[in-house]
Amino acid sequence: MTTPVAEFVDVAKIYRSPLRRRRTVEALKGVSFRVEPGEVFALLGPNRAGKTTLLKILLGLSRPSGGDTRRFGRSISSRETLSSVGYMHGNQAFPGYLTATCLLEFYGGFSGIPQRSLRAKVPALLERMGLADRAREPIARFSKGMVQRLALAQSLLNDPELLVLDEPMEGLDLNARLLLHEIIEEQRSEGKTVLLVSHALEEVARICDRVAVLVEGRLAYLGGVDPLLHDPATGEERSLQDALSPFYHTLT
């Protein structure tokens, strides 16, 4: 049996309510699943389903209240495995005074990438993202889509074995979406893993191997995309949104 890239075993998370300190909120309620090497895995669910909380736990940004979480077979308390993870947030807030080149060089140095490697890697990534001609401009002048392209470049700096994409489609035009698909396929072909959080259901159906659906902190579905796209009663094809409607009423 292969070692999972990410593994959640009965993970729970309880917060204290910011409005009523004596009240608690269960963000996760015993969530268990594995993300295997080489697969493109989607995490779906409405707002406040627990998706972001689960990602924070995986990335070591939040501690679970119960259960066990592992990266590459090791406890999330083992920080060394983070060097094999790339993360793209869907709503980046990069310092506007930095240029794209300075930002990538900063993150690369922070990640421990040698300067010699960065001098070759940063221009190549900016070229691929269509940002080479804006490399020396302040990020404050960038559009939302350009910031998203830069965030994608930043997530790829360390050649990650696990690429975590949190709402990566936000603000991307058609060309940028095609580029993102291409990068995801490259990761898969190289035996690397992609964990995708998205509300773009058509994109998920096209590129993902398996999905997990969270609803109110619980795992409502885990399995392949194809079974969801066929009505179990009639066998007729249906959209992923129609397939997910029994789990929750509307995607927001």
Domain boundaries, the chain: 6-91+161-244
DSSP code for 5: S
pLDDT per residue as tens digits for the range 89-111? 878 889 999 999 999 999 898 78
Q: Which amino acid is at 98?
A: L
pLDDT tens digits along 15-56: 876 666 677 888 999 999 999 999 999 999 888 889 999 999
- Pick the more confident residue, 132 or 238: 132
pLDDT (tens digit per residue) in 211-249: 999 999 999 999 998 888 887 778 788 888 888 887 766
Residue 232's contacts (CB-CB under 8 Å, 6 or more residues apart) are: none
Fold of 6-91+161-244: Rossmann fold (3.40.50)
Q: Is the pLDDT of residue 250 over 60?
A: no
- Provide CB contacts within 8 A for 234, sequence distance 6+: none
pTM of the model: 0.91
- How many CB atoms are located within 10 Å of the residue 186 CB? 12
